[in-house]
Amino acid sequence: MNTDNEQILLLHGAAVVATMDAQRREIAGGSVAVQGRQIACVGSAAEVQAWLDAEPTRRVQRRIDLTGCVLLPGLINGHHHLYQTLTRGIGTARGLALFDWLKTLYPIWGQMHGEAVYVSAKLGLAELLLSGATTVADHLYMYPNGARIDDEIAAARELGLRFHPTRGSMSVGISQGGLPPDHLVEDEDAILRDCLRVIGQFHDAQDYSMLRIGLAPCSPFSVSGELMRQSARMARAHARVGLHTHLAETIDEDRYCLEKFGMRPLDYAESVEWLGPDVWFAHMVHPSGAEIGKLAHSCSGVCHCASSNMILASGIAPVRAMVDAGVRLGLGVDGSASNDGNHMLGEARQAMLLQRVGWPGFESRADRMSAREALELATLGGARMLARQDIGHLAPGMAADLVAFPIDGIEHAGAQSDPLAALLCCAPVRVRYSVINGRVVVDEGRIPGLDLPALVRQHNAQAQGLLQRAGLAR
C-alpha cells in the first residue's frame, strides 16, 4: 500500500457504488478513496471519512462529486481488432457470414500501414474509454506495409488505458488450404522472432501492470498447428504472457477442423497444447456440453462477443451453461467491422438480452441472465478471463480502475428504483468519469488533452486512403 502522506483522490456521493467484491456489496451514497495507483478505502461516506480522519497526513488532493452517478469497477474488453474501425459497415451492411466477410475485407485491410494502425487504435480506444472500458485486449494479426504492434501500443500509452495487446499472426494462405490471401501471411520463423521481440520490449508481468503481451495465432484456418504449439511454448517460458485465439466461432469452422484435422476445434486446440489458465478463446459459440466441461476443468477462458456473433450470424453462445459450469468468461466488443461500435456498456446489455432469447435446445427465458450478472461478466469476469487478480472489483489494495456512469439524464428518467440495473435495462450512456491506475482519464465526459474532432478527421482520411488503395473509393 502507498504511504499515508501520498495525496488522495476522493470519489463521493454516488447513488450506488457496485463493488463486485466477494460480498457483491452495493453501497448507497458510497465513496472510494484512491491513493496513488491503488484503492485505499471503499465504504459509506462516513466510513471513508473516518478512514481519512484516522491519519492527519491523509490529504485529499481532489474531490469528485458523483451525485447522479453509479460507480463500478472499470469495464474489461477481452477481445478486439482495433484496426477494423477503419472499415466499419463494409461487410456487415451486406449481410455476410464470417468466411465471406473476411474474404471481402482482407484486400482492404492489406492496404494498412503503421500510421493507419496507430490512428485506428487511438480512435477505437478513445471510444472504448468513453464507454467505460479501462482494460482492453486487442488482437492484431496482420502486419502489411511495415505495420507493427508497436503502433497500437503507442496509442494506448498516450491515452492511458490498461492494455493487453496480443501479437497475432497468419501463416497459412489460400494456396495451402487456409482462408487469407497468400500475400497477407507471414513466415512462421519471422513471426516467432517478432513475438520474442515484443515480449522482451513491452511485456510487464508485475502486479498493476499497464501492459501485458499475449501471443495470438489467428485461427485454425489461418495458422499451422506447429505455430500454435511453438507459440504456446514461447508464452509459457515467460511469466504471465497470455495465449489468445478465435475458436469455435462458426459451424463452418467446425466443418473445416473436422475435414482438415479430423477433430472439432476444442480437441484440436488441446492437441496443440492450447488449454489452460493462460489461454482465453474468443467466441466459443458452438461448444458441446462435454467441451464446456473441458473448458472449466482446464481453467481455460472464453470471451463472449454477443454483437459480432449476431451480426455475422455465427450463433448464440451458451453463456449461461458456461458460467454455471465455472468457465472463466468475460465480454468483448470484437472488431469494429463486425460490431461497428466500441461500446462496452452496450455490449454488456447485448450479452444480457441475447441470453434471454431461445435457440435450438433452449427455450426463451427472461430470467436466464440479469443485469447484475452481465455487469459482473464485464468487470470481475473479464479480470478472471485475463488471469488478473489486481483489477475487476473495488477493494483496498486493488488497482484504482473505476468508472462513473450518469443516471440523471433522459435515458434513465423513471429508473430510480434500481440505478445499477438501469445501466443495462435503459439505453447505454457514456461515462462521466473514468479513473485508470489512479489517474483521471475521462473528466466530466471528456478525455483531457485529446482533440477528438481532429482525431476523427484524421481517422476518416486514413479509412478513405485504404479504400482508394484497394480501388474501392467512390
**Tens of pLDDT, residues 6-48:** 789 999 999 999 999 999 999 999 999 999 999 999 999 999 9
Locate the domains of the chain by residue range: 8-73+393-443, 75-385
Give me the pLDDT at residue 473, please. Answer: 78
Q: How much is the average pLDDT of 82-97?
A: 90
Q: Which CATH superfamily is domain 8-73+393-443 in?
A: Urease, subunit C, domain 1 (2.30.40.10)
Give me the pLDDT at residue 361, please. Answer: 75
Q: What percent of the chain has pLDDT over 90?
A: 93
Asked if residue 4 has pLDDT above 60, the reply is: no
Give me the pLDDT at residue 170, please. Answer: 98
Q: How much is the average pLDDT of 447-465?
A: 98
Element (H, E) at 330: strand 328-331
Q: Which CATH superfamily is domain 75-385 in?
A: Metal-dependent hydrolases (3.20.20.140)
Q: What is the 8-class DSSP label of residue 362?
A: B
Q: How much is the average pLDDT of 278-293?
A: 97
Give me the pLDDT at residue 2, please. Answer: 44
Asked if residue 1 has pLDDT above 50, the reply is: no
**Tens of pLDDT, residues 318-340:** 999 999 999 999 999 999 889 98
Give me the pLDDT at residue 7, please. Answer: 86
Sign for the pseudo-dihedral over CA of 227, 229, 230, 234: positive
> Comparing C-alpha atoms, which of 154, 204, 167 is closest to residue 399?
204
Buried b (16+ CB within 10 A) or exposed e, 44-73: eeeebbebbeeeeebeeeeebebebbbbbb
**Tens of pLDDT, residues 148-203:** 999 999 999 999 999 999 999 999 999 999 999 999 999 999 999 999 999 999 99
Buried b (16+ CB within 10 A) or exposed e, 300-337: bbbbbbbbbbbbbebbbbbbeebbebebbbbbbbbbbb
Q: How much is the average pLDDT of 305-315?
A: 95
Helix, strand and coil content of the chain, in percent to the nearest 5, comes to 40, 20, 40
pLDDT, mean over the chain: 96
Q: What percent of the chain has pLDDT over 70?
A: 99
Q: How much is the average pLDDT of 347-361?
A: 90
Give me the pLDDT at residue 5, please. Answer: 60
The torsion angles phi and psi of 433, rounded to 5 degrees, stand at -135, 145
Contacts (Cβ under 8 Å, ≥6 apart) of 139: 79, 80, 81, 166, 168, 216, 218, 244, 282
